[in-house]
Chains A and B, each alone.
Chain A
Amino acid sequence: MVWISIEQVRELLSKPENISNAIIVASIKHEKSTITDSLAQKAGITNYVLQSMLHKDLNEDSLTSPPMSLYIMRVVSLKKTKMMLILSILSILWTMSTFYLKPQLLSGSPMAFSSLLTILRASVCKLMLYCMQLWMKKSDQF
């Protein structure tokens, strides 16, 4: 599986004079998929590292080259992916801190305050994730 950043896609699409659109039209059993797969493989839009890991003898024996298929994947910005990771880690740490702090809070403060704090933290986490999703959806464009 390969993740292409939206910056890369935008850069490619920004130069239409460098684009060549091709179509493979053929009768049934004329190996349209085989040709498409080999073209996709040659163009480097498949993860050769992962492919090599799964098929160690790929370089030595091209007959074992596995068939590929084209599939749909969400285009995600690299910056956003990094931000998403950081925010996810932060939200996990936030939630975990609730469990660590709970006994201390219970011993020193009333039950109602502790529950309120937990709810508040969970809501903030959800809000963060929702905002992130909204932000990612908004700026993805072709």
Chain B
Amino acid sequence: MINKIDRQFLELQLDAEDMYRNFNKILELANTIISNYGHDMGEILLQPKKGNVAFGCGKENWAFTLTTFARIYSKKFGVDIDKMKEKLWGDNYYDTKNKRWYTEPTNEEGEKLKRPFCAFVVEPIIKLSRSIIEGNTEQMNKILTSIEVSLTLKENEHTGNDLLKLVMSKWLNATDAFLEMIVMHLPSPKAAQKYRVSHLYEGPQDDEVAASIRDCNPKGPLIMYVSRMMPTTETGPVFAFGRVFGGTLSAGQKVTIMGPAYIHGKKDDLFIGKVPQVVSMLGRL
């Protein structure tokens, strides 16, 4: 997610085209790093066209992907969502007068055209945000009606940043964008562990432990990566927080603990312990 985009138009007063260029720069930098490290992971480059990039503001709990807007505009233009996503990013321009798509920033009459990302995505957000911050209720209500967001009487009492947060999180809820990206683009452990096994396990890649990780096999030998030791109280027990990559973890089970200094085949930093209890992490109020 490209975060804090509200600061670009509220504080830096950038226009939509400048914002587009900034986003493109950020994505290019990120993709350079990804292409250096993610050789065997398939196509994981960040491409807004694919809907795997979100833009938004975490503090105000709003974010969107191009899929969010492609869904809205595909109905309006009568185009397929995937085609709309392609049009919303890159060197595509739309002439609102002639209702035609171009690949160059000027039409036949020499008029300057806007990118659909700027005209249909960023500019409505900028307009709405500025109208709320400036207290322009008339314009705000007009935009709210067009985007089908309604406010209750109590919600209407808010002003400034509070109202902005409320309206934006109602219109472009960050959680929806994230959940969509998680479901559509993140691989399942069964798919991911096939290529991750060589990074996760230092031992021979053809033994039963590697096979247990690769197949995500609950009946194979137990392999758990402990990422953090979490103390409960000052003198109380310490929870080992981690992820099971293979096998099944049970209370009372005997396990071999390999410390950070352990080298495969040697006995340094190697202990045998017992799992006294298994707990799960949940959310609470």
Contact = CB atoms under 8 A, between A and B. Distances in A.
29 contacts: A2-B282, A16-B189, A17-B191, A20-B182, A20-B188, A21-B186, A30-B58, A31-B59, A35-B174, A35-B178, A37-B283, A38-B175, A41-B175, A60-B152, A60-B154, A68-B283, A70-B282, A71-B284, A72-B280, A73-B280, A73-B284, A138-B250, A138-B252, A139-B251, A140-B277, A141-B248, A141-B250, A142-B244, A142-B280
A4 B282 contact: yes
Contact of B250 (A2, A4, A140): A140
Interface stretch (A46-54, A86-94, A99-107): A46-54
B249 A141 contact: yes
A39 interface: yes
Interface of B: 3-4, 58-59, 61, 152, 154-155, 158, 162, 165-166, 169-170, 174-176, 178-179, 182-183, 186-192, 216, 218, 230, 232, 239, 243-244, 248-253, 276-285
A139 B252 CA distance: 9
A44 to B, nearest CB: 9
Interface string A9-33: 1000110111111100010001110
Interface residues of A, number: 52
Contacts of A1: 284-285
A73 B282 contact: yes
B277 to A, nearest CB: 6
The B contact surface, by secondary structure, is mixed
Interface of A: 1-2, 4, 9, 13-14, 16-22, 26, 30-32, 34-35, 37-43, 45-47, 50-51, 54, 57, 60-63, 66, 68-75, 137-142
Contact of B278 (A13, A17, A40, A141): A141
Contacts of B277: 74, 137, 140
Given A45-B283, A75-B279, A61 B155 contact: yes
Contacts of A19: 188-190
Given A1-B284, A140-B251, A16 B175 contact: no
A22 B189 CA distance: 11
B101 to A, nearest CB: 35
A74 B280 contact: yes
Given A34-B59, A72-B239, A140-B251, A46 B284 contact: yes
Contacts of A140: 250-251, 277-278
Contacts of B189: 16, 19, 21
A1 B278 CA distance: 18
A35 B58 contact: yes
Given A20-B182, A42-B175, A75 B278 contact: yes
Given A17-B188, A20-B182, A35-B58, A45 B155 contact: no
A70 B59 CA distance: 19
B3 A31 contact: yes
A61 B169 CA distance: 12
